Structure 1
Amino acid sequence: MSSRSETALFPRLAAIKGLIPGILSILLLTGCMFNRETDEDDGWHSLFEEPHRHYQNIGAKYQPDATKMDWFRHGLKLAFGLYPGREHLPPDMALPIKQANHQFKEALTATNRITWFGHASFLINIGNRRILTDPTFARYIGHFPILTKRLNPVAPNWRQLDRLDAVLITHADYDHLDLTSLRMLRQIYPRLQLILPAGTTMMLEDFPKTAIREMNWYDNETVGSISVTFVPAIHGVRRPPHELDSALWGGYLLQSGGRKLYLSGDIGPGTVYRDIASRFAPIDTAVVPIGGYEPQSFNRAFHVPPDGAVDIARQLGAKRVIASHWGTFPLSEDTGKEQKQAFLTASTKAAPRKHVMKVGESRPLWRD
């Protein structure tokens, strides 16, 4: 081998060698090498073995059929930033920070306002209470080495809040349960109430002296005068290294002053939403996810496309629907531009009025 060939080859080998620990970690986290808890004598599982699930969906249209190798490829794309990024966002994705902060300051002195921080993080100013959903304020989410960076800064400045009454967590996936964000919030607002799906507290890692309420489907809690009901969703929980579906998942139905707000969480297709409708319809405002659905061959059991999300809002008799879970973290093949366009052009019978908020925007919660 010539000296020139050796010079070119050795840095490449060194680079590949440097990736090996990360790739092995991804194999471990996505379950492709072995399951941490097993009944087999040798402690190893086959590549495609289906692990035990603690919780189950009700009325799901599809059963999860992605293999561990599919999850490994997904983990690689997350870890190496291979999903569509910032260059694929709409040009008007976010408000300028000064404008966002000004709107937020005004919203905090008003009633019945909603503010979007990006992804599934909303501040609900309702019934003289301030409720935050699925806060993800850190620059990265995930578990090393699978870390995903935000595509746009957090806006507005959430530290403008002089009081925070409750935090709602829909499920324990890393893009919804971010421990870094919860620790920051608890440090500033030590009296906040934390409402979680059943089984989630074990994942919190040292949250002493925090008021925590775990909820099963259709359990009810009150925050001041606001009724908060945890409602079913078709999804699941994948939070390595914890076992698959070892905590529950769902959405929330908030009622105040005769009005109803539906926060869906992540949703796959199925019939369970008819049951929610039978109990709570009609809904004034629904907040539903419009991203994370491509490719459908991988995501169809967990994430409806935008037209499916609009249809679920329609089933609940929603007057208006607000888009969430899009344009913030690169988690799938669908781009921010595609997510927004598909949502705005979604056509279903008797569809509710559709609204796309900009990151940092505050607006009225109800529209008559």
Structure 2
Amino acid sequence: MAGTGLPLPVRVIGGPTALITYGGLRLLTDPTFDPPGDHPAGEGIVLGKTAPPAATPAEIGPLDAVLLSHDEHPDNLDTSGRALLPEVPLTLTTVGGAERLGGTARGLAPWESTGLPLPGGGSATVTAVPALHGPDGAEEVLGEVIGFVLTGEGLPTVYVSGDNASLDLVRQVAGRFGPVDAAVLFAGAARAPYFDSTITLDSAQAAEAARILGARQVVPVHYEGWTHFTEGREELEKAFAAAGLSGRLAPA
């Protein structure tokens, strides 16, 4: 499906949270609005948040849907984010996450799609796509995660990676939907106990994901504001420059 060729309006709020304006819809990724501090993540693990969000839910205003990659980690859905969900008409997330959250949450299995009515008529399609939060077998420890692809007649094709560390899965997405107009990539080279490798894309992998997808615009998120991230904006810019893709990286 042909896109618009225009930049995707994305407002990065902080961490994995971004407001995407899509065909008149207002879509929010992984809501996190708690202040800086320690956030328990189970089994004695504590995640440290170091930066506040750039806006409050009240400042963001009404939403049409939340695209929630997973519900089990406080850096992707925190206390304030959970309080927001009942006010949103629809939350799309994993099948297990929808069962845990209830309310307006709807679970999507990988490659399952649903339609969202557009304000001006017609509809956009949201397709859940597979994601792997770490190396092979990470699901047993870190849980199920999904990403999303947005498509619609006359609208850009948009990939939202979620906490994905697998370039093989990016290739699968590209095979079905590429080239994409925009990619919202969760980066940061996050690390966690029990794993020797990173559990999200590092900067070089993010640049390679952009190349695989043929992404015209890349909006990196979830690479700052938490102590478990090991690569920030400087590393992203260097990696995209080394790959000859600097022009595709959205400004900070």
The verdict on how the C-alpha distance between 1:291 and 1:283 changes in structure 2, with shifts beyond 3 A counting, is same
Residue of structure 2 equivalent to 1:276 = 173
Distance 1:243 1:316 in 2: 28
How far apart are 1:299 and its partner, in Å? 4.8
Distance 1:352 1:163 in 2: 32
Change over 3 Å in CA distance of 1:203–1:352 after alignment to 2: farther
Q: Which has the higher contact order (CA 8 A, sep 6+)?
A: 1
User: Match of 2:202, as an amino acid?
Assistant: P
Contact in 1 for aligned 2:94/2:145 (Cα 8 Å): yes
Deviation (angstroms), 1:301: 5.6
Distance 2:249 2:215 in 1: 10
Tell which structure's C-alpha radius of gyration is larger.
1
Task: Show CA shifts across 1:144-201 (max 9, x none).
Answer: 76443431221123303442111111123414542512332145x2x52011112113
1:266 counterpart = 2:163: yes
Tell me, in whole angstroms, the C-alpha distance in 1 between the residues paired with 2:161 and 2:212: 13
Task: Name 1:201's counterpart in structure 2.
Answer: 98
| In structure 2, C-alpha distance between the alignment counterparts of 1:218 and 1:176, rounded to whole Å | 25
Q: Is the 8 A contact 1:310 1:352 kept in 2?
A: no
Structure 1 residue 143 displacement after superposition? 4.0
CA contact (8 A) 1:323 1:356 kept: no
CA deviation vs aligned residue, 1:220-260 (integer Å, no higher than 9, x gap):
012222211111122269xxxx9735x52121111233311
Tell me the CA shift for residue 134 of structure 1. 0.4
Report whether the alignment pairs 1:291 with 2:180: no
Preserved contact between residue 135 and residue 178 of structure 1 (Cα < 8 Å): yes
Task: Give the CA RMSD over aligned residues.
Answer: 3.0
The amino acid across from 1:117 in the alignment is: I
2:31 maps to 1:132: no
Is residue 126–residue 151 contact of structure 2 (8 Å, CA) maintained in 1?
yes
Change (3 A) 1:156 1:291: same
Which structure dedicates a bigger proportion of its chain to helix?
Answer: 1
The answer to whether 1:300 aligns with 2:193 is no
Q: Is 2:41–2:47's contact at 8 Å kept on the other side of the alignment?
A: no
CA distance in 2, matches of 1:128, 1:157: 21
Pair 1:322-2:215 in alignment: no
The residue type equivalent to 1:154 in the other structure is P
Is 2:46 the counterpart of 1:150? no
Partner of 1:178: 77
Answer whether contact 2:167 2:209 (CA < 8 A) is retained: no
More deviation, 250-259/129-138: 250-259
Instruction: Report the Cα distance in structure 1 between the residues aligned to 2:140 and 2:176, rounded to whole angstroms.
Output: 32
**SS in structure 2 opposite 1:309?**
helix
- TM-score normalised by L of structure 2: 0.79
* Kept in 1: contact 2:11–2:19 (CA 8 A): yes
Are the structure 2 counterparts of residues 262 and 200 from structure 1 closer, same or farther at C-alpha, using a change threshold of 3 Å? same
Identical-pair percentage: 28
1:89 maps to what in 2? Answer: none
Structure-to-structure mapping, 1:31-180, within 5 angstroms: 113-139=9-35, 140=37, 141-143=39-41, 146-180=45-79
SS of corresponding position for 2:237: helix
Q: Secondary structure at 1:287's aligned position in 2? A: strand
Cross-structure match for 2:120: none
Letter in 2 for 1:165: D
- The equivalent of 2:3 in structure 1 is none
Deviation at 1:211, TM superposition (A): 2.2
| Deviation of the 1:124 alpha carbon | 0.9
The AA in structure 2 aligned to 1:114 is V
Q: Structure 1: any 5+ residue segments left out of the alignment? A: 1-110, 358-368
